[in-house]
Structures are given as structure tokens and as C-alpha cells.
Amino acid sequence: MKNIVVIFGGRAVEHEVSVITGIQAVENLNKEKYNVIPVFIDKSGVMFTGECYKDFKNFKNNEFPDSKPCRFGTSYGDHNLYIENKGLFKKDEVVEIDCVVFGVHGSHGEDGALQGIFETNGIPFTGPSVMSSAVGMDKIIMKDVYKSHNIPVVKYTWVFRDRFKVEPNDTLDYVMSKLEFPIYVKPASLGSSIGIKVARTKEELREATEVASSFDRKIIFEEAVINATELNVAVMGRNGDVEVSSVESPLGADEVFSYQQKYMSQDGKSKLIGGKHNFIRDEDTVYKATELAKYSFNVLDVRGNARIDILMDEAGNMFVNEINTLPGSYAFYLWEDVGYTFKSLLDRMIEIAISAKKEEEETNYRFDSDLFHHTGYGSKL
């Protein structure tokens, strides 16, 4: 039986969404195949584990009776989770981990930072590498890469927060010289609709930029696609060997959902579990969207399970809005429509993670040479 860590929470504004995703993974992993170990990262960035983190009721009540601090090693080959036991003479409990299932959304978790720990110690983990995670998280760099590969994206520009602080009017004039209203204003590296506003006037642009700049040091501005249809499609696999989910149209792209609208229904319950979905069945639209999604996934060398968000204008032209390398609830609703259960989806994600690690072990990272004996101390190399 494999020891599987589900890591979730984190030092990010998407902390609560991450907890829901993590708990869904904990509940749906096949207990006949896996010993599931939750690792919760609190809002200050400290890791904890314990059976209490498997029960969502404890998060509602903020009660974690058997919580213990834990940590991962940073030496290559150290695949252990170290669980601290209280008491002067008690040793840490050590559990060897076979794979880590990521459930951390946003900063310090979805952006490559946390992935770096597991690339360093060699524990297989679900989702993309450090590089692909970082590029996928930064909407500016992501769009720059897509443009270089002739992947259609909306017109955009960006600025540093410091520039807006020092020269607010000049910054707004610069943006307006590049783009036509309405303009979407977003933090460069956030999701879950946090900090996103649409501006139709210069004053609204100022207000939206102030909001976005409170969440990120870089702000991206995107020219709206008028009367657009938003299309969501998930892609899963690695090294170009990928499969695609159904295509969904969640809402008109000229509308911005707030965090509450996106995740909470009118009765205050989460939308992340269940709900109705508007799947696209038109063959031409599905073909164009899935081909564009696959190319967008492969260009960033993504592995695992990601969701690509596409905008389609009234003429049928499609633009990649962004890639979400760790979608909420693992985009299960998209995969369920093509036959996956939550258990089989998580199984496949773990299979991809372990196969990626095996491939990485085929790469030679050593080059033995006699350089030291041919170099004097202090000499130039």
C-alpha cells in the first residue's frame, strides 16, 4: 500500500479553496490502494498533520485535536515525512512517502515554490514541474510564451505596481494607449477571481488597478472580447501524450464573478461540489477548443491535470485566456462527463506523477572530471 500525502491550505489568498480541494482528494483517494496522510499548511506557512485534517467539520469549527507539526527533508533521496511528537525524549515519527497529491492553490504552492521541495528531495508529486508551474501561474509570462508559439491570446499589456504608485496618471494613459475599453485588470499571479475588475472609464481603470496592485507586484491589463463565450476544457497527461475532457461554457465572458459568486451559491453552500454544467456538444467547437487546449498544455511542458480557459468571439475565433495548472476540485466535473470517477481521476494523476519521476531518473546529472587537479586555488576558470 502506497503512502500518499495530500498537501493543501497554504500562505495564499486562495487558502480556503485549497482546503476544499484537499479534503475532496483525501475523501476520494482509494483507501484500498493508499494510506492517505493529510498535510495542512496554515496561513502563516507552517505544516501540520493528523487525522483531524481529514474531516472538513474540524475546519468549520477550527478544532484540530491531534494536530502535529511536520516537515519534509530537503536532501535528495530523503522521501520521508517527519512528524514531531511532543515530549522531551520522544523521537519524530518518520513515514516514507510514495507520492504527494497537490491541493495547494495560488501563491507559494501553485507557482513552483512548493514543487521545488519535492524536485529537491525526489518525492514524486502530481502536477507540473517548477518551471511549468511558475510560467503557468504568471499570466504575463504565460501569454508571452503563447504569443511566441502563435497561440492566439487577447490584446494585453502590463506594468509593475511600483510604476503605478509613482506615476499613476502616466501609467493609466499608457494602458489606454495600448488597449480599448472595456479592460480587464488582474493581479498577474492570482486565481479564483480575486482582485479582478473590469474598467470602462479611466476612473474605473484607476480603481481597478489599485485593487489589483494590493494583491501582486505586477498587474496585467486585457482588452475585453465583446460578447464572448467562455470555454473550459481540461487536459491530462505528459510529454505530448494527453487526453481531453468535455468542453464546458460556464458563463458569458463579459461578466466577472466575484470570489463569493464563483464558489458560493445563494444558500451559502459551496459550488465546488456538484452543480449544473453547460457542456458544449457542437462538434466543430469542441474540436477547435480541445486542439487549442492540448497545444497550450504541451507548449508549457505541463504534466498532470490542468484546465485551459478559452474565450470565443461571435465569429468563432478562439483565444487562450489562461491555463490553470491546479484547477479547483481537479476539474473533476469536466472529467466526470467523459467517464472518470473521482477515484480513477486521482489514480491517473498519481500514475502520471510516478512515471514522470521514473523518467527524470533516466537523466544523467553527473559529469565526473579531473578539473580540481588542473586548477590552482584562486585561478580563473
CA-wise closest residue to 252 among 181, 307, 314? 314
DSSP state of 105: -
Residue 162 C-alpha from the chain's centroid: 26
* Sequence-ordered list of residues with C-beta below 8 angstroms from that of 159, at least 6 positions apart, any chain: 171, 174, 175, 218, 219, 221
**167 φ, ψ (degrees, to nearest 5):** -130, 70
Q: In the annotation, is 32 catalytic? A: no
Binding site feature residues: 309, 322, 324
CA–CA dist 72, 50 (Å, integer): 15
Of 14, 110, 230, 248, catalytic: 14
352 three-class SS: helix
- List Cβ neighbours of 281 (8 Å cut-off, separation of 6 or more): none
Q: Exposed/middle/buried for 87, CB within 10 Å: 0-12, 13-18, 19+?
A: exposed
Residue 163 CA to residue 172 CA, distance in Å, equals 10
Distance in angstroms (rounded) separating the CA atoms of residues 10 and 108? 7
- The answer to whether residue 14 is catalytic is yes
Helix (H, G, I), strand (E, B) or coil at 137: helix
Q: Would you say how long the chain is, in residues?
A: 381
Alpha-helical (H) ranges within 248-341 are 259-263, 283-299, 332-336
- Choosing from 189, 192, 246, 249, which is the catalytic residue? 192
Q: What Rg, from alpha-carbon coordinates, does the chain have? A: 22
Q: Which of 18, 213, 296, 329 is catalytic?
A: 329
The counts of H helices and E strands in the chain are 12, 15
Catalytic residue flag (residue 192):
yes
Q: Which helix (H) or strand (E) holds 172?
A: helix 168-178
Give dist(CA 184, CA 199) in Å, integer.
Answer: 6
Tell me the binding residues for Mg(2+).
309, 322, 324
Active-site residue list:
14, 192, 329
